[in-house]
Amino acid sequence: MTSELLDRALIEEAAKKSGLIWVRGTGGPAARALWHVWHEGAVCLVGDGPGEQPLAGLADGGSAEVTVRSKDKGGRLVTFPATVTELAPGSAEWEATVAELKGKRLNAPDGEEMPARWSRECRVLRLTPAGSVVPLPAGSLAEAPVPTPATTRMPIPAGLPRLLAKRRKKERRG
């Protein structure tokens, strides 16, 4: 029982402090980085709508593997299995969860109208820890990046290195 309580405490503390988690749903694509909030004993997510994060592979009643990273170094802190629950829009639990998520959503295009849009177009999920913490792996778990339509920038302008060198020189003098 003590080990289970320590696992829960580790999961909760890590999830509260990290703004980003890695989630792999059952049968879903590779693990994805998702922003979240820790609310009432679970990781809470919003997504699958226009302008929101994709929640591919996460289905109501399914399971997921959640990895929480360190906020400062970005390294893996803890990995745990979770049960996925989709909250019904308008329910008391949905309202409380959305209030927490709304406070953490950065750069929202619609501000105060966000909960209404989430209700119409998005899914709100709770990932409740289920089981003990997964041991840290011995080797690398690096995977190929998820395909994306994003492209890289053009080559840097020829004069940029000189400009940066001048700026560094001024900083050293001042």
Q: Model-level pTM?
A: 0.77
Q: Do the beta carbons of residue 48 and residue 164 sit within 8 Å? A: no
Give the C-alpha distances (Å, rounded to integers) separating 153 from 19, 35, 150. 27, 25, 10
Q: Percent of the chain beyond pLDDT 90?
A: 50
b/e burial code for range 133-159 (CB count within 10 A of at least 16 → b): beeeeeeeeeeeeeeeeeeeeeeeeee
Which residues, 6 or more positions from 33, have their beta carbon under 8 angstroms from its beta carbon?
Answer: 20, 21, 22
pLDDT higher than threshold 80 for residue 128:
yes
Residues paired with residue 125 on neighbouring β-strands, in sequence order: 45, 86
Can you tell me whether residue 132 is helix, strand or coil?
A: coil
* Dist. CA 25–CA 106, nearest whole Å: 24
Average pLDDT along the chain: 88
Tell whether the model's pLDDT for residue 17 goes beyond 80: yes
pLDDT-based confidence at 174, cuts 50/70/90?
low
Strand partners, 64: 25, 82
**How large is the average pLDDT for residues 165-169?**
79
Residue-level pLDDT at 23: 94
Are the beta carbons of 74 and 18 closer than 8 angstroms? no
pLDDT(165) > 90: no
- Structure-token pair, residue 57: 């592979």
CATH of 2-173, one of 3.30.420.40, 2.30.110.10, 3.30.70.920, 3.40.50.720: 2.30.110.10
- pLDDT-wise least confident of 66-75, 82-91, 123-132: 66-75
Per domain, the residue ranges of the chain are 2-173
